[in-house]
Amino acid sequence: MESATDFLSDFQRNNRWIIENYNNLKKAYNNQWIAASNNEVLDHDSDLKKLVKRLKTHYLEVYGQIAVEYILLMS
């Protein structure tokens, strides 16, 4: 069983991956929400509610570890 510290570390690692890869992500996911885990985009959508619903359906066990970010070309 993962501790809260492990969970936070996984989330932080996923968030850091988004930051480090933001320029590449802008090219593929402009004006969309992305969900990232383990150095990859799990899913994306322009509608955050739809994305969250799919994440909870398909990735419930690791939902708290997934980093979600809105990708904007102008950033």
Using pLDDT thresholds of 50, 70 and 90, give the confidence band for residue 74.
Answer: confident
Question: CA 55 to CA 75: how far, in whole Å?
Answer: 25
pTM for this one? 0.85
Counted residue by residue, the chain has a size of 75
How many separate domains does the chain show?
1
Adjacent-strand bridge partners of 33: 45, 70
Average pLDDT score over residue span 46-64: 97
Query: What percent of the chain is helix, strand and coil (3-state, nearest 5)?
Result: 55, 25, 20
Nearest partner of 18 among 59, 52, 68, judged by Cα: 68
Angle at which helices 22-29 and 4-20 cross, to 10°: 70
Please state, rounded to an integer, the average pLDDT across all residues of the chain.
Answer: 91
Question: The domain containing residue 25 runs over which residues?
Answer: 4-71
pLDDT at 75 over 50: no
